[in-house]
Amino acid sequence: MASKARGYSAAIASNPYIVGSFACIGGGLFGLDISSMSGVLNNDAYMNYFGRPGPNAQGGIVASMPAGSFAGALLVTWLADFIGRKKTVILSGWIWVIGSILQCASQNRGMLVAGRVISGIAVGLASAVVPVYQSEITEPRIRGRIVAMQQWSITWGILLQYFVEFGCSYIDGVASFRIPWGLQMIPAIVLSLGMLFFPESPRWLIDHDRPEEAHQILADLHGGGDLNNELVLLEYEEINAQVAFEKNEGAKSYLDLLKPGIVRRVGMGASLQMWSQLSGMNIMMYYIIYVFQGAGLTGRRGNLIADSVQYVLNVALTIPAILYIDRWGRRPMLLVGTLLMGFWLMLVGGLQGRFGHWGTVDDSRVWVIDGHDSATKGIIVCSYLFVCSFAITMGPVSWTYPAEIFPMRVRAKAVSVSTAANWAFNFALAWAVPPGLSTIAYKTYFIFGTFNFAAFVHIFFCFPETAGRSLEEIEDVFAQGHVFTAWKIKRDVGKKTLEQVVAQKKDIHVRARHLHHPLPFTL
């Protein structure tokens, strides 16, 4: 039953999949935005109303959302620590509603860009804080699976919004794009109202001197309400010990991100988000209409249907990743994924270069394939396989890994910096891809294929495995060193029993008393 004193529903908290996945609606907002643009790029009503924007102007309109998201993600560095993870998620939903209203009512490009920037701030907040919230309320056994659902919600947002726009494309006039843009606010309202029934992060509560509340939430989350459940006690003691250690280390500061041991992880989190953008997935999501158009797939309806198949595959192939991410491990998924994505993009570029030529489609200069049906089909199939490869590997891991590698003291700040890297590259690529496709054409695919192979090398040498450990046990993984030999760190490093954690906590308190810095926690 719901408890007013607790401020959340204990029944909801007792189901790890509900409590872990509901906040993913915040990720779905990102997906909604991707389709809100990709679905109108060949909509005559949209093109005519906004003055038929050229490659550079259209890139600017699309890029305005990730520009706002960059600012929103950085805002989390302060907001998630100040008001808490839960309230930040709620706030992101209401900001999205404001942005959706402006987009729906937009009278010109400037108003549309303003609405997309505001919606972007909401997406930036949600994309940075939701993985942190999920990682802090789920047990190690299923943490990867739950955080990976962030990516699945993005794919669902893309798919649902795309089909709404597909259906609305049969409407004549501006309603064909205003209706989908207005409907975007419904999931955000559900998110903001629904989160009122969910608990705050127990790690944030302990860090803010509210250990009793945190203990009760952990009991409701992982022990059926039993405060003395062994897993609950283990987590409670681990978090207490870690927070005590971090408070003994000194006050939180942005400079903590530059400390030895932390700066390495900030670099890893930011670079993984960077590689997820440089993988080329942006081309296939934002601008798939241009890709298939260049492949020789002409006709508005045929193009929209081919695009929708890709979005369905994106949703379906994320499911195995969610189910098996904790069994397969983060490293193998990233390594296999980057190799496959690089391979498919090189094939697309090769087919485009071999069979294509400069032509004109819808009054635009396009590198297009004519009269080579097998090449057209080959490009479409390779594009589908690329999306499947991303969905089952890099997509979910790029959200999971940064959310679990940082200590509590800097987690919100570090994850927000990592996510800001995602949005910085998202912004740059969203703007650069249309001019790129209209100038260097098929060579664009070779560039992104090369990025994937570079990502493989970086991940192989520098990214250790983190699956199956509590957030506190992951500290031992990075204590091993092996900065450039990550494969040497075994999967059992860091595992602890309750007795070991209690003994470690006692040792921390003894050292603290010795240094004349009494701590707020007692055994």
Number of folded domains that form the chain: 3
More confident site: 119 or 251: 119
Query: Minimal CA–CA distance to 217: which of 133, 161, 296?
Result: 133
Mean pLDDT confidence for 401-408: 88
Please tell me which residue, 389 or 58, carries the higher pLDDT value. 389
Last residue within a domain, chosen from 199, 215, 234: 199
Give per-residue pLDDT as tens, 464-485.
999 888 787 888 889 888 888 9
Residues 6+ apart with CB under 8 A from 274: 421, 422, 425
- Verify that 184 and 207 share a domain, yes or no: no
Q: Stretch 439-467: mean pLDDT, rounded? A: 94
CB 479 within 8 A of CB 457: no
Assign 358 to helix, strand or coil. Answer: strand
Retrieve residue 409's tokens. 């003291």
> Coil, helix or strand for 196?
helix
Same domain, 289 and 160: no
Among residues 186, 218, 249, which one ends one of the domains?
249
Q: What is the pLDDT of residue 274?
A: 96
The answer to whether residue 3 sits within a structural domain is no
Indicate whether 142 belongs to any domain. Answer: yes
State the pLDDT at residue 393: 95
The alpha carbons of the chain give a radius of gyration, in whole angstroms, of: 24
Pairing of strands 2-3, 364-369: unpaired
Mean pLDDT of 261-279: 95
The pLDDT-based confidence of 440 (bands split at 50, 70, 90) is confident
Contact in structure between 38 and 287 (CB atoms under 8 Å): yes
Alpha-carbon span 415 to 405, nearest angstrom: 9
- The tokens describing 37, both together, are 């643009």
Looking at 176, 199, 222, which one is the last position of a domain?
A: 199
Kindly state whether residues 230 and 262 are assigned to the same domain.
no
Which stretch, 122-136, 200-214, 289-303, 337-351, has highest mean pLDDT?
Answer: 337-351
Tell me: pLDDT of 522 over 50.
no
| 270 and 218 fall within a common domain | no
Among 282, 201, 251, 266, residue whose Cα is nearest residue 445: 282
**pLDDT tier for residue 294 given thresholds of 50, 70 and 90:** confident
For the chain, the average pLDDT equals: 87
At 379, list the tokens: 């490009």
Q: Is the pLDDT of residue 460 over 50?
A: yes
Q: Do 242 and 311 fall within a single domain?
A: no
Could you tell me the pLDDT band of residue 434, with boundaries at 50, 70 and 90?
confident
Q: 2 pLDDT exceeds 50? A: no
Q: Which of 84-88, 409-413, 496-500 comes out lowest in average pLDDT?
A: 496-500
Model confidence pLDDT, tens digit, residues 259-269: 888 999 999 99
Binned at pLDDT 50, 70 and 90, residue 518 comes out as very low
145 and 208 housed in the same domain: no
Q: Would the pLDDT of 286 be above 80? A: no
Q: What average pLDDT does the segment 23-50 reach? A: 87
**Residue 357: in which H helix or E strand, if any?**
strand 356-361
For the ranges 5-19, 180-194, 382-396, the lowest mean pLDDT is seen at 5-19
Q: Are residues 441 and 299 in the same domain?
A: yes
- pLDDT, residue 521, reads 42
Residues 294 and 219 in one domain: no
CA distances from 270 to 265, 274, 505 (A): 8, 6, 31
pLDDT at 515: 47
C-alpha span between 14 and 232 (Å, rounded) = 12
User: What is the mean predicted confidence (pLDDT) over 184-202?
Assistant: 94
- Expressed as residue numbers, the domain containing 115 is 9-199
Q: Does any domain span residue 80?
A: yes
pLDDT in tens, 237-250: 888 888 887 777 65
Q: Looking at the predicted structure, is the pLDDT value of residue 30 above 90?
A: no
Burial class for 255, CB neighbours closer than 10 Å (0-12, 13-18, 19+): exposed
Structural domain contains residue 522 = no
Tens digit of each residue's pLDDT (9 = 90 or more) over 164-192: 988 898 898 999 999 999 999 999 999 99
The C-alpha atoms of residue 305 and residue 252 are separated, in whole angstroms, by 51
Residues 114 and 100 in one domain: yes
Kindly state the average pLDDT of the residues 254-259: 84
Helices (H), 52-142: 55-82, 85-104, 109-137
At 357, phi and psi to the nearest 5?
-160, 165
123 and 238 belong to one structural domain = no
